[in-house]
Amino acid sequence: MKSLKIILFGFLIFTYGSCDGTKSLSPIGLLTGNTWALSSILGQGLNLTEFSGGVPTLDFLDEGRLAGYSGCNNFSGSFRLEGTSLELDPGAITKKACPGNGEQEFLEALSRVSNLQISKEKLILLDGSTALLTFLPK
């Protein structure tokens, strides 16, 4: 009888711990708390000469706020996530002149995002089934 209680207790702890771990694997749980660094645009590796100030990044913040760096300018806007559907609004962006086309390509791709695939190791922003932007945690 005592061993049955121990097994039941262990099972309850395992089940409770598993439920708690699942919350952190939700899309919003994986999005927030990371700075995501761009690793590809339209399936192509980055040409860093197109990003004069460094690699573009995204930060998904509390209350649907979005912050990022386009490789030249900073931006601050919002996002809306429902399941795997995602809408991004870069919002306000600084206005430094930027050499190359990297920033423009990045911002155009951001405007087309409609959904996502996410894991702990990778964020893929998609337009339907077309991968637009791939990010890795920084």
Residue-range definition of the domain harbouring residue 108: 27-137
DSSP label of 89: E
Per-residue tokens: 135: 């990010």
Length of the chain: 138
Per residue of the chain (138 residues), what is the pLDDT tens digit? 555 444 444 444 444 444 444 435 688 999 998 999 999 999 999 999 999 899 999 999 999 999 999 999 999 999 999 999 999 999 999 999 989 899 999 999 999 999 999 999 999 999 999 999 999 999
Dist. CA 38–CA 57, nearest whole Å: 6
CATH number at residue 52: 2.40.128.270
8 assigned to some structural domain: no
Q: Which residue has the tokens 């996002």?
A: 79
**Radius of gyration of the CA atoms of the chain, in A:** 19
Tally of domains in the chain: 1
104 assigned to some structural domain: yes
56 assigned to some structural domain: yes
